[in-house]
């Protein structure tokens, strides 16, 4: 799935993660603290061995500190942190303290268990921490003692457009990145956010999580079950990505919720329901209706429908419970991916207004023949 999306974006310009920018800013600030001069260009080594160079957008020095800033360039990716000023303030630390990380203005603090960092830590992920430490070692040597404070201009406002609040990361954005490079439209970051949402839900002891394909179905599913915010997994189109992680990191009850079009695609065997993976097959949907007893006229009208939504409307006007049948077929596809008798799976199908038009009960997900 990731390879397919990344191949499609191969001609788009790549960018740099917040972790890369923080590492470069930290190296520049450390060099200025030691030598009294900021570099004209600062290079850092990425996990894959590449060494990009960055110009500084901010230079500031004072009594016992040096501060450098780099404007994040996310390339052609629609990243909410594109253009953000990532800053690092470096101070000498106590002897033997090593590198101590601090969350400055605009960088969040972890408040919930289940993330790669414990509660109370600044949300600077492990790979960026390693990159920062290695970048500092290039100018100060191994085993250097420094306090590194990472901040982001308007980071708290930017964080409102992320999932940080749901994950319990408060006060700003996270400093992220596993490769140091932003690949435009890659699903990797989204998949990782799905995993982290499941980790947080499990750490809180939740027994029921809900993954939805969009905002309308998410809110409708939350209201249907009265779920807390931390039980909501921002699954998006990646049904398979969520279910396969849950197979390895189980939760007793799982709801998969979505609109009629994407749940029809799931019913037709697609675990990635993005439009780029293909549209729902209206002819196949019409056959389902026919198997349920629809007359030839309704079958023909569903086949000729402009959208899946129109097909459902036609079925509804004829009194045909198409939503429940699609939910049952979608359950079979999802259950095959989940495949765990200890996990009860439910499918909810909603229309564009958030009205429930189809559902299954919670059924152990290894019983793929129990829904007919």
- pLDDT attached to residue 76: 84
200 pLDDT above the threshold of 70: yes
CB 350 within 8 A of CB 324: no
* Higher per-residue confidence, 6 vs 225: 225
Give the HSE-up count for residue 263: Cα atoms under 13 Å, Cβ half-sphere: 34
Q: How far from the centroid of its chain's Cα atoms is residue 217's Cα?
A: 17
Tell me the pLDDT band of 56, cut-offs 50, 70 and 90: very high
Q: In 3-state terms, what secondary structure has residue 104?
A: coil
Does the pTM of the predicted model rise above 0.85?
no
pLDDT in tens, 267-322: 999 998 876 666 789 999 999 999 999 999 999 999 999 889 999 999 999 999 99
Tell me the pLDDT band of 265, cut-offs 50, 70 and 90: very high
CATH architecture of the domain formed by 12-182: 2-Layer Sandwich (3.30)
The percent of residues above 90 in pLDDT, for the chain, comes to 80
Q: In 3-state terms, what secondary structure has residue 75?
A: coil
- pLDDT attached to residue 81: 94
pLDDT in tens, 66-100: 999 999 999 888 889 999 999 999 999 999 999 99
7 pLDDT above the threshold of 50: no
Which of 110, 107, 126, 129 minimizes the C-alpha distance to 118? 110
Mean of pLDDT over the chain: 91
- pLDDT attached to residue 372: 53
Domain boundaries, the chain: 12-182, 190-364
Q: Per DSSP, which regions of the chain are E strands?
A: 15-16, 42-43, 53-54, 58-62, 65-71, 85-92, 99-103, 106-107, 109-110, 146-152, 169-170, 172-173, 181-182, 208-212, 232-233, 253-259, 344-350, 356-359, 363-364
Q: Per DSSP, which regions of 242-327 are E strands?
A: 253-259
Residues 6+ apart with CB under 8 A from 98: 143, 144, 145
Which of 259, 241, 228 minimizes the C-alpha distance to 194? 241
The DSSP code for 125 is -
Tell me the pLDDT band of 189, cut-offs 50, 70 and 90: confident
- pLDDT attached to residue 1: 28
Record the tokens describing residue 1, joined without a space: 């799935």
Q: What integer is the mean pLDDT of 134-163?
A: 95
């Amino acid at each position: 799935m990731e390879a397919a999306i990344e191949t499609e974006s191969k001609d788009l310009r790549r960018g740099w993660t917040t972790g890369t920018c923080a590492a470069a800013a930290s190296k520049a600030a450390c060099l200025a603290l030691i030598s009294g001069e900021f570099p004209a260009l600062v290079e850092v080594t990425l996990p894959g061995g590449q060494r990009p160079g960055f110009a500084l957008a901010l230079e500031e020095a004072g009594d016992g500190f040096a501060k450098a800033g780099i404007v994040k360039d996310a390339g052609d990716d629609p990243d909410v942190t594109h253009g953000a000023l990532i800053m690092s303030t470096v101070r000498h630390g106590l002897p033997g303290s090593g590198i101590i990380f601090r969350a400055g203005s605009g960088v969040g603090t972890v408040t919930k268990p289940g993330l790669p960092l414990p509660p109370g830590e600044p949300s600077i992920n492990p790979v960026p921490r390693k990159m920062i430490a290695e970048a500092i070692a290039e100018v100060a040597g191994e085993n250097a003692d420094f306090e590194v404070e990472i901040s982001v201009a308007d980071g708290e406002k930017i964080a409102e457009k992320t999932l940080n609040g749901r994950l319990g990361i408060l006060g700003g954005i996270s400093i992220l990145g596993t490769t140091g490079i932003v690949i435009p439209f890659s699903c990797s970051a989204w998949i990782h956010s799905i995993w982290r949402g499941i980790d947080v839900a499990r750490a809180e002891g939740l027994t029921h999580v809900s993954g939805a394909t969009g905002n309308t179905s998410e809110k409708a599913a939350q209201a249907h079950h009265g779920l807390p915010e931390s039980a909501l997994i921002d699954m998006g189109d990646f049904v398979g990505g969520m279910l396969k992680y849950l197979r390895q990191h189980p939760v007793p009850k799982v709801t998969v919720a979505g609109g009629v079009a994407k749940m029809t695609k799931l019913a037709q065997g697609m675990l990635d329901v993005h439009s780029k993976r293909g549209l729902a097959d209206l002819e196949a949907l019409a056959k389902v209706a026919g198997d349920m007893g629809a007359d030839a006229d309704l079958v023909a009208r569903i086949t000729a429908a402009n959208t899946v939504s129109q097909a459902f409307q036609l079925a509804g006007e004829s009194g045909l419970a198409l939503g429940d049948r699609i939910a049952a077929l979608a359950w079979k596809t999802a259950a095959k991916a989940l495949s765990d008798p200890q996990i009860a799976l439910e499918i909810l199908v909603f229309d564009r207004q958030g009205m429930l038009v189809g559902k299954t009960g919670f059924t152990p997900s290894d019983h793929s023949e129990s829904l007919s």
